[in-house]
Every structure is written in structure tokens, then in C-alpha cells.
Amino acid sequence: MNNELKLLPEQEHLSRQKQFMEQELACGPRSHTVATDKMTRYIVRWRIEEAIRRLFRADATLSYTCSVLVLCAAEGYEGTVIADMGFSDVTVSDLSEGAARMAECRDSRLKARVLNAEETGLPAQSYDIVVVQDGLHHLQRPVQGFTEMLRVAARAVIFLEPHVSLVARLIGTKWETNGEAVNYVFRWTNSLVQDVASSYLGQGAFKNLSFSCWHHNIVFAKAGERLGGGPFAIACIRLSKAGMDFFFSTMGNQFCALIIKEREQKGKI
């Protein structure tokens, strides 16, 4: 990896990310977004479903009537998962106009917008809940992306990204290449999320319920395939995940930031 690739001007970086997504979707939605087998659906949906479940357990005032914005959404699969869970007001967004159009065509329940996750241009507190899955680490300013989420969200922020852990330090990917788009794989910790949210929102203005876990779509998919791909395979993966997350969650490869704004503080942002 040379310095020229590491240090692209911001607009060129955004242009390459947008171009890659348009090329990726030129032949239609990616395979996992149209998969119907239970194994694939379980694997690719687990993280976002678990984050929403924890969010609802933590704040009983939240409901499926909350408006949701998903940033860096590509063809909007995360929006579909959220709509399947019962949310009725779901908007997905991406840098790519083609991705936004595909999202609306693929799932009529979704609204779509073309937005830059680092600078959306939206008014503060435009949506109740703002979500990103595997998008912040594609940005040149991932912390800026997080603070933009905090600004736009009225009630809560969820993002799912790589975690800083011993395993990540030893074998984790440091640089990611997607076509001509190159990005550093920025990883998160609970303390980093706490510091950024405190700096932006202030003391006592939020609850930090972030957690780390073990989840790897490709590894789990291969394991499930070897186990037959049916209910038994899903049960085995569920059991192994539960054990790893209970005993070794701090070493997990995945991180979920879960920030809930205190209601009395919302109008002060």
C-alpha cells in the first residue's frame, strides 16, 4: 500500500467509493440481499436485529413508529431488515444515485435519499434513530461520520463496525480495497465512542450501551454449509456465538455502538 493510495483527496475518495458501489450493483442487488435460505438470512441479519432488540429493551419509550435513517446503505438491505422488524418509516441513503433508486425499486416500503454520511446537510434531529452498518470505516473521517449521526438523530444512534481487539491486531484487515476505492479499516472501542459522544453531546446527555461481539458472515456461512445449512446448522452457530459472546465478547471482531440520547437533553443539541 503506497502513500498515494492512502492519501487521496477527499472528493476523489468519495468519487471512487461511489463508483465502486455503482459497479457493484450494475448487475442487480448483491446476493445476500436476495437470499431466501434461513442460514444466510440469520447470518446477515443478526447484528442489526440484536442492536434493535437491545435498543428497545433499554428504552421502553421507543417504538416501531420511530423514524429511521440508514446511512451508507447501498441497495438498502439494512432498511429492509428494519422494516421487516416492524418499523413503518424507514429511509435509506447512499452516495450513489443508482443505489438509492435500486433500494426504492427493490423494497417499496423504503424511502431513499442521496446523502454524504460525513455531511448530510440534514437539519439536526431529523430522524428518531440513525443507523450505519459497515459504512463508517469507508469514510476518510469516520469520527465525523459518527458525530453527524449524533447530530441528525433525535433519539438514538446505532452503528456496526470493526472492533479493536487482540484478534484484530493480529490478523485483522488494515486496508480494504474495493475496485479503485481504498480505505483504512477504522476500528472502534467503547471508550472511544464514550469520548466522542461526551465531546459532542455533553455530560449526562446520553446512555452508552455499546457492546462487542463475535460475528463474521463468511466464516459462519462456511461453517453452516459444512453442517448442512438447515435448522441444526443454525442452532450450532447460535450456540457457539452465544458461548463466545458470553465468555470472550471483549475479544470479539465486531463492535456495536448504541447511544441513546436522554430525552430532556434532546432540545439542547
Q: What 8-state DSSP symbol labels residue 61?
A: T
**H and E: helices and strands count for the chain:** 11, 10
Helix (H, G, I), strand (E, B) or coil at 140: coil
pLDDT of residue 264: 59
Report the amino acid identity of residue 180.
Answer: E
Helix (H, G, I), strand (E, B) or coil at 257: strand
Domains contained in the chain, number:
1
Residue 220 resides in a domain: no
Residue 33 resides in a domain: yes
Residue 124 resides in a domain: yes
Q: Are 203 and 248 in contact (CB under 8 A)?
A: no
Residue 233 resides in a domain: no
C-alpha cell at 259: 447511544
pLDDT of residue 7: 60
pLDDT of residue 268: 46
Residue 264 resides in a domain: yes
Each residue of 153-201: pLDDT tens digit? 999 999 999 999 988 888 889 999 988 889 999 999 999 999 999 999 9
Residue 148 resides in a domain: yes
Burial of 86 (0-12, 13-18, 19+ CB in 10 A): exposed
* Element housing 178 (H / E): strand 175-178
> In the chain, which stretches have pLDDT less than 70?
1-7, 264-269
Residue 184 resides in a domain: yes
Determine the Cα–Cα distance for residues 118 and 136; give it in Å rounded to an integer: 9
- For 176-211, give one letter per residue: b (16+ CB within 10 A) or e: eeeeebbbbebbbbbebbeebbeebbeeebbeebbb
C-alpha cell at 58: 433499554
The half-sphere exposure of 59 on its side-chain side, counting CA atoms within 13 A, is 23
**CA angle, 66 then 88 then 35, to 5°:** 120
Q: Are 47 and 92 in contact (CB under 8 A)?
A: no
Determine the Cα–Cα distance for residues 123 and 13; give it in Å rounded to an integer: 25
Enumerate the H helices of 206-256 as residue ranges: 217-226, 231-248
CATH code, domain with 23: 3.40.50.150
Residue 88 resides in a domain: yes
Domain span at residue 88 reads 3-161+173-214+254-268
